[in-house]
């Protein structure tokens, strides 16, 4: 890296008096036209400085130049709390994904490559000879009415409802609940209608009813007219069926508008598989009849980007291309085809440079890591050719194997060399070492942070003893960063033979029980497919077959419909994966009593869900407030102290704490509620206090503060203790779920699980738990993971952080590369074994992490 050669003494962004969130009146100068890394522990204030202050102010200034009418159509943030910022260019922010992504969003839609590919097929594809008209580009998209398959509505998955799925136990009568798909709330009404109006015997076993009657009850669309005996001179009226047919109910619930909880319930009563009409592509037959280079658009979408580029590249070099004619049956050798493929290949090559060649355009974003999403957006910016812009990036290395982080650094270099400024909030010390400048914020999180400890060239941080980042950036400066420990020797194993899913083909894997297992490999090597797909489905199938249940730590866990774990596992893994995991054999499952998957999905979909409500500690807090003298005197129950329920909440803002103000020709603005001033509760509720604080005051406390304030409430104290143990002491109890990063959400789920008293052997599956963590926070997390193993459980982590990998008892390294070049186990063994394997791309990075940290086997 050219390093300090880029720095100019006159090209600085100068921030004065920044007070956003926990920033303590910060003054700092940050160089332009350089790569600047913002570092510090989680919650120290680095994001408040980079995003909340610098980017937000740049966005505000840009939007002031936009016409008021257009401005109101753009989502805007608040004005940052800062006295002044000078030397600030326009800014572009690439932040981590928040909330639940759409299963209809794909690599192609994020990069807009799908638009160009659809245009290629519409304007230059080979149509069947019997085609009367050429299709518009919309006809090649499963997300449009013109292109979506009429059978599966564009999702590629067909749901089949049969009598067997709706009535799992035919020995039961209707009164006993034979039609299991009917919601319980319908039961009384259905029984009355079926018995009185229709004359069916609801007490006979289902199997004894006539086949025609069973068919009518389940699938009729008729509306029978039945005369009801009048009572009290009521006029008789026609009877209309008051219940939907079960089939219609099921498919209505599977619509996008249904809640995740209801969808999960309904999935128990359907068989899901690849749509037979479109083959899983989600497209109409007319679109699938058009080809380019001998392939359909569905086939090209499924190819890795490396192969797609190879197929398109020959068209870009055509020298005999001719102008396309409206009546031509094939436009593959036209100037239109050359123009579109040239643009496609150029944009794909940027993705290849970023190490994303293993992805396909059809890969849905729900299956991508935050780091992969960041790189997809980066590729778009590289092609934009902008100059003089500040790019503010949120942990671009998140979810990246160390080998994948190297091309990322080259991309950041390219952005800076093009005359832009690159500000990265980052925890990866390799990326930080490659920066021109570092701004270290801290020293601790929350109230203990908010100070700029150092702003200067990277080497200068070595002299700042107060910095928590320093010992990890310069490993020789502090031996306390090592975590030498004795590796556990396994005595039992869970083995899987012949596993197949995505790029895994007939893979045999063995997981030692009672240990910490790390699954490693470059992006796209098959790690998540092995752990989150195959292993999860096998264990879940075993637990359900035996009548026990796994207990996902997240409230939006995907439903898994699995059968015999030894012979086969047919599971709908994610709502959009459109793939089934299969295994030939499995053993060692009898040792597993519970399955818990801790992932990075949000802990809630709206701001009403927060840390306190998710962990359950808010129940204990509300109970304490309900037990105070004033609350008992007024007859307040615990429900009075919920901001989601009428009675105790502020009715002006309905418990939100803020209100939306619509302004003519200006964007809508959010402000504190004028009635409760952001407290969320009405005055009467706020008059009830516990130890001098109202319920709103308690929600405003950080976890660290609440641990001291609520020490006398055992259940709350236990929750707060585990949250602190995983490094979340800086979060506020009432912090909305929508403000939490994926790593924070995962640690909240882990803390929630840790506070539970459980018996039996639990298998924990974690997907990159160190995402968003400073190396110091990783040490706290590792302590908790080892505590779970010491308690007699097994922990399996998909991980790229070499500190975690070096601390594991057993490694399974997949690869050697991503996509079709991966999907194989390169090496499995102790960290030392893997570090010595020349075929492993993880080995050299692991060897570096093991220096001075080599564990000794316990005899």
154 lies in some domain = no
In a domain, 280, yes or no: no
Q: Note the pLDDT of residue 364.
A: 84
Q: What is the pLDDT of residue 355?
A: 81
> Do 649 and 588 belong together in one domain?
no
| Residue 479 counted as domain residue | no
Give the tens place of pLDDT for each residue, 810-827: 999 999 988 888 999 999
Q: Do residues 295 and 88 lie in contact, with contact meaning Cβ atoms separated by under 8 Å?
A: no
Residue 648 belongs to a domain: yes
Q: Are residues 661 and 720 in the same domain?
A: yes
The Cα–Cα gap between 744 and 751 comes to: 10
Q: Indicate the residue among 472, 504, 520 that finishes a domain.
A: 472
Same domain? For 497 and 588 the reply is: yes
Of 735, 766, 791, at which residue does a domain stop? Answer: 735
Task: State the CATH number of the domain containing residue 404.
Answer: 3.40.50.300
Distance CA 696, CA 204 (A): 56
Q: Give dist(CA 610, CA 244) in Å, integer.
A: 36
Instruction: Specify whether the CB–CB gap between 348 and 358 falls below 8 A.
Output: no
Q: Are strands 91-94 and 390-394 parallel, antiparallel or unpaired?
A: parallel
Cα–Cα distance, 24 to 11 (Å, whole number): 25
Which residues are CB-contacts of 505 (< 8 A; sequence separation ≥ 6)? 823
Of the candidates 767, 394, 718, 272, which has an alpha carbon nearest to the alpha carbon of residue 554? 767
- Confidence (pLDDT) at 233: 43
Sheet arrangement for strand 451-456? 91-94, 390-394, 421-425, 35-39, 437-442, 451-456
With respect to residue 551, please indicate whether it lies within any of the assigned structural domains: yes
- What's the token pair of residue 820? 């079709």
Residue 79: partners with Cβ closer than 8 Å, 6 or more residues away? 56, 57, 60
The answer to whether residue 515 is domain-embedded is yes
Q: Looking at the structure, do residues 307 and 418 belong to the same domain, yes or no?
A: no
Q: In this structure, are residues 271 and 160 in contact, taking their beta carbons and an 8 Å threshold? A: yes
Indicate whether 209 and 242 sit together in one domain.
Answer: yes
Burial of 15 (0-12, 13-18, 19+ CB in 10 A): buried
Q: Based on the fold, state whether residues 777 and 720 are members of the same structural domain.
A: no
Tell me: do 60 and 86 sit in the same domain. Answer: yes
Q: Which residue is listed with tokens 């518009």? A: 136
Residues 177 and 262 grouped into a single domain: yes
Number of other residues whose CB lies within 10 A of the CB of residue 27 = 13
Look at residue 143 and tell me if it is in a domain: no
Q: Which of 472, 506, 536 is where one domain is finished? A: 472
Span 769-779, pLDDT tens digits: 888 788 998 88
Which pLDDT does position 238 carry in this prediction? 42
Q: Work out the burial of residue 216: count CB atoms within 10 Å of its CB; fewer than 13 is exposed, 13-18 middle, 19 or more buried.
A: middle
d(CA 740, CA 746) in angstroms, rounded, equals 10
Strand (E) or helix (H) holding 402: helix 402-417
CA angle (790 as vertex; 784, 792 as ends), nearest 5: 120
Count H helices, E strands: the chain?
A: 32, 22
pTM of the full structure: 0.79
The strand pair at 493-501 and 504-512 is best described as antiparallel
- Residue at 859 is within a domain: no
Q: What's the structural domain count of the chain?
A: 5
Q: Which of 775, 832, 779 is nearest to 809 (CA)?
A: 832
Cα distances (Å, whole numbers) of residue 390 to 380, 387, 395, 435, 525: 15, 9, 15, 15, 33
Q: What are phi and psi of 611, to 5 degrees?
A: -55, -45
Rounded Cα distance between 737 and 741, Å, is 9
Count the neighbouring beta carbons within 10 Å of the beta carbon of residue 595.
23
- The pLDDT score that the predictor gives to residue 57 is 92
Distances from the Cα of 616 to the Cα of 27, 702, 715, angstroms: 40, 16, 9
Q: Give the Cα separation of 799 and 525 in Å (integer).
A: 12
CATH code for the domain of 636 = 1.20.1580.10
Residues 6+ apart with CB under 8 A from 399: 369, 370, 371, 372, 523, 768, 771, 800
CATH code, 168: 1.10.8.280
Which segments in the chain show pLDDT lower than 70?
1-5, 9, 67-77, 96-103, 182-198, 221-264, 324-330, 369-371, 476-485, 545-580, 605, 660-670, 742, 757-758, 852-859
Produce one character per residue of 727-766: b if its CB has 16 or more CB atoms within 10 Å, e if not: bbbbbbbbbbbbebbbbbbbbbbbbbbbbeeeeebbbbbb
CB-based contacts of 563-569 (< 8 A; 24+ apart in sequence): 565/538, 565/539, 565/541, 565/589, 569/534, 569/537, 569/538, 569/541
> CA 117 to CA 111: how far, in whole Å?
11
Give me the domain span that covers residue 540: 493-603+742-850
Both 618 and 686 in one domain: the answer is yes
- In terms of Cα–Cα distance, which of 382, 311, 318 is closest to 350? 382
Whether 720 and 774 map to the same domain: the answer is no
Shared domain for 303 and 240, answered yes or no, is no
Yes or no: say if 738 and 606 are a contact pair by the CB < 8 Å rule.
yes
Angle value at C-alpha 738, between 103 and 622, nearest 5 degrees: 125
Locate all alpha helices (DSSP H) within 662-774, ordered by sequence.
683-686, 695-699, 703-709, 714-725, 742-754
Strand ranges in 592-704 using DSSP code E only, listed in sequence order: 594-598, 658-663, 666-672
On whether both 464 and 422 belong to a single domain, the answer is: yes
Question: Within a 13 Å sphere around the CA of 90, how many CA atoms are in the beta-carbon half?
Answer: 10
């Amino acid at each position: 890296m050219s390093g300090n050669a880029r720095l100019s003494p006159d090209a600085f962004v100068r921030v004065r008096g920044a007070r956003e969130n926990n920033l303590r009146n910060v003054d700092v100068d940050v160089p332009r036209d350089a790569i600047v890394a913002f570092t510090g522990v989680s919650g120290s204030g680095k994001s408040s400085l980079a995003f909340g202050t610098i980017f937000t102010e740049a966005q505000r200034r840009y939007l002031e130049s936009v016409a008021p009418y257009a401005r109101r159509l753009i989502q805007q943030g608040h004005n940052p709390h800062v006295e002044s910022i000078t030397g600030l260019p326009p800014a572009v922010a690439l932040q981590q994904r928040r909330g639940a992504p759409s299963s209809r969003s794909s690599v192609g839609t994020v990069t807009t490559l799908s638009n160009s590919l659809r245009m290629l097929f519409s304007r230059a594809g080979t149509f069947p000879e019997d085609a009367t008209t050429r299709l518009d580009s919309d006809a090649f998209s499963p997300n449009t009415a013109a292109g979506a398959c009429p059978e599966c509505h564009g999702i590629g998955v067909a749901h089949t409802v049969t009598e067997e799925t709706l009535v799992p136990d035919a020995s039961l009568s209707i009164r006993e609940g034979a039609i299991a798909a009917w919601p319980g709330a319908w039961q009384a009404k259905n029984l009355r209608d079926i018995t009185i109006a229709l004359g069916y015997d609801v007490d006979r076993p289902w199997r004894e009813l006539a086949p025609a009657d069973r068919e009518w009850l389940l699938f009729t669309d008729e509306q029978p007219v039945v005369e009801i005996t009048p009572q009290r001179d009521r006029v008789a009226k026609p009877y209309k069926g008051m219940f939907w047919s079960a089939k219609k109910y099921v498919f209505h619930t599977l619509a996008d508008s249904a809640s995740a909880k209801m969808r999960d319930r309904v999935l128990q009563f359907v068989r899901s598989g690849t749509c037979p009409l479109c083959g899983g592509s989600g497209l109409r037959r007319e679109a699938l009849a058009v080809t380019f280079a001998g392939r359909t658009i569905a086939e090209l979408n499924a190819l890795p980007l490396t192969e797609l580029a190879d197929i398109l590249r020959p068209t870009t070099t055509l020298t005999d291309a001719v102008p396309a004619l409206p009546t031509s049956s094939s436009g593959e050798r036209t100037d239109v085809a050359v123009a579109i493929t040239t643009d496609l290949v150029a944009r794909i090559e940027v993705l290849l440079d970023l190490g994303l060649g293993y992805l396909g355009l059809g890969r849905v974003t729900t299956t991508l890591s935050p780091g992969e999403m960041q790189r997809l957006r980066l590729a778009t910016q590289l092609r934009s050719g902008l100059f003089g812009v500040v790019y503010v990036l949120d942990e671009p290395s998140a979810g990246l194997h160390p080998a994948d982080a190297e091309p990322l650094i080259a991309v950041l270099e390219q952005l800076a060399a093009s005359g832009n400024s690159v500000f990265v909030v980052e925890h990866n010390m390799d990326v930080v070492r490659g920066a021109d400048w570092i701004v270290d914020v801290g020293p601790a999180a929350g109230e203990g942070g908010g100070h700029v400890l150092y702003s200067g060239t990277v080497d200068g941080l070595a002299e700042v003893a107060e910095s928590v980042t320093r010992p990890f950036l310069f490993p020789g400066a502090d031996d306390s960063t090592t975590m030498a420990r004795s590796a556990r020797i396994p005595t039992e194993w869970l083995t899987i033979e012949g596993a197949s899913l995505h790029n895994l083909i007939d893979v045999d894997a063995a997981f030692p029980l009672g240990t910490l297992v790390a699954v490693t490999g470059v992006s796209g090597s098959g790690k998540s497919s092995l752990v989150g797909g195959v292993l999860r489905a096998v264990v879940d199938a075993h637990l359900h077959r035996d009548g026990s249940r796994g207990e996902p730590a997240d409230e939006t866990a995907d439903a898994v419909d699995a059968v015999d774990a030894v012979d086969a596992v047919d599971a709908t893994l994610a709502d959009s994966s459109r793939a089934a995991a299969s295994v030939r054999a499995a053993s060692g499952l009898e040792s597993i009593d519970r399955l818990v998957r801790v992932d990075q999905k949000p802990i809630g979909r709206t701001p009403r869900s927060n840390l306190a409500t998710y962990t359950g500690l808010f129940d204990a807090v509300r109970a304490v407030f309900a037990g105070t003298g004033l609350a008992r005197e007024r007859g307040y129950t615990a429900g009075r102290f919920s901001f989601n329920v009428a009675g105790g909440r502020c009715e002006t803002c309905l418990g939100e704490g803020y209100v939306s103000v619509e302004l003519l020709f200006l964007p809508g603005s959010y402000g504190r509620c004028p009635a409760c001033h952001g407290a969320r509760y009405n005055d009467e509720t706020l008059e009830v206090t516990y130890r001098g604080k109202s319920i709103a005051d308690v929600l405003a406390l950080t976890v660290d503060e609440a641990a001291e304030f609520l020490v006398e409430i055992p259940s709350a104290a236990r929750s707060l203790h585990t949250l602190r143990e995983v490094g979340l002491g800086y979060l506020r109890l009432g912090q909305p779920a929508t403000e939490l990063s994926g790593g924070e959400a995962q640690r909240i789920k882990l803390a929630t699980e840790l506070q539970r008293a459980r018996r039996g052997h639990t298998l924990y599956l974690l997907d990159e738990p160190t995402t968003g963590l400073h190396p110091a926070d990783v040490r706290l997390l590792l302590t908790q993971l080892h505590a779970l193993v010491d308690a007699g459980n097994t922990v399996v982590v998909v991980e790229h952080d070499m500190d975690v990998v070096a601390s594991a008892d057993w490694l399974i390294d997949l690869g050697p590369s991503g996509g079709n070049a991966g999907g194989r186990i390169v090496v499995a063994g102790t960290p030392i074994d893997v570090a010595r394997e020349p075929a492993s791309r993880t080995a050299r990075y692991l060897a570096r992490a093991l220096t001075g940290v080599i564990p000794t086997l316990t005899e």
